[in-house]
Amino acid sequence: MSFSNQFLKLFIFVSIFSISCSKSEISEARNEIFFNVDSNLIQKVIEFSEIGIKIAPPKGWVVLPSSELTTKIRIDEETGRRQTDSMLIKSVFFDSSSKSFLIISQISVGKSFEAYIDSLDSLFSAMFDSFTFQKANFRKGKISITQYLTQNEQIVNFRFLGLNLSNSVFQIDFVIPKAAYSTELAKVVESSLGTLEFIY
């Protein structure tokens, strides 16, 4: 099995597990955020109309073949869980030099967006021995976004979740090997996120 497939499976396992966790109460301020965008570090903007967003992937990151995306379906079938929430991966971009991923997903929530966020809080709190995490809430334009930074000795995951004005839940994940993470790669992530726009 290729490294990219193994890494993608790890990401998906954590994501699928998260939607079966219990709720916890949260309350945080949401401030407007601005990103520095270096146009030399990004590709052209791509539109994901089903989840109401546009974003420019990092320069040189390639789209994985659609066959790679079936990993999600296989793992989901293996869990045997009935879930009211689900994740549909729309696209995966891969950087061969750093072995990093940009994963764009659509989340279908059974109850509410807030309940889904609560489930992530519970998941990451329960996994605190193996993963550390930080959480922040901010706004980009009219949209409130929840950011999670989770990491252990192997990986760093920047996750951005939001509910756009058409009530579609989007999830953007940058999954980076800890050994490859650097100031330069952080600028790449920031530049890509800085292009995020919403389709109304």
Lowest mean pLDDT among 8-17, 51-60, 145-154, 167-176: 8-17
* pLDDT for residue 180 is more than 90: yes
Give the closest residue to 17 by CA, choosing from 102, 91, 66, 87.
87
pLDDT-based confidence at 81, cuts 50/70/90?
A: very low
Give the closest residue to 135 by CA, choosing from 6, 122, 143.
122
* pLDDT for residue 11 is more than 60: no
Dist CA 157 CA 155 (whole Å)? 6
Question: What confidence tens digit (pLDDT) does each residue in 94-137 have?
Answer: 999 999 999 999 887 767 788 878 877 887 777 667 778 788 88
Q: pTM for this structure?
A: 0.77
- Full 3-state SS string of 174-193: EEEEHHHCCHHHHHHHHHHH
Question: What confidence tens digit (pLDDT) does each residue in 16-73 have?
Answer: 333 333 333 333 445 777 788 999 999 999 999 888 999 999 999 999 876 555 444 4
Does CATH number 3.40.50.2300 belong to domain 3-198? no
Which one-letter DSSP state was computed for residue 65?
Answer: P
pLDDT-based confidence at 93, cuts 50/70/90?
A: very high
Dist CA 132 CA 7 (whole Å)? 18
77 burial via Cβ count (<10 Å: 0-12, 13-18, 19+): exposed
Mean pLDDT on 154-159: 89
Return the sign of the alpha-carbon dihedral for residues 182, 119, 147, 175.
positive
The two tokens of residue 100 are 């990093």
The two tokens of residue 169 are 């839940």
Mean pLDDT on 168-177: 91
Q: Which residue has the higher pLDDT, 5 or 164?
A: 164
Res 69: pLDDT: 53
Which one-letter DSSP state was computed for residue 56?
Answer: P
Mean pLDDT on 172-183: 92
Decide: 16 and 103 in contact? Cβ < 8 Å: no
Dist CA 74 CA 183 (whole Å)? 35
* pLDDT for residue 153 is more than 80: yes
The two tokens of residue 196 are 């995020």
Res 65: pLDDT: 78
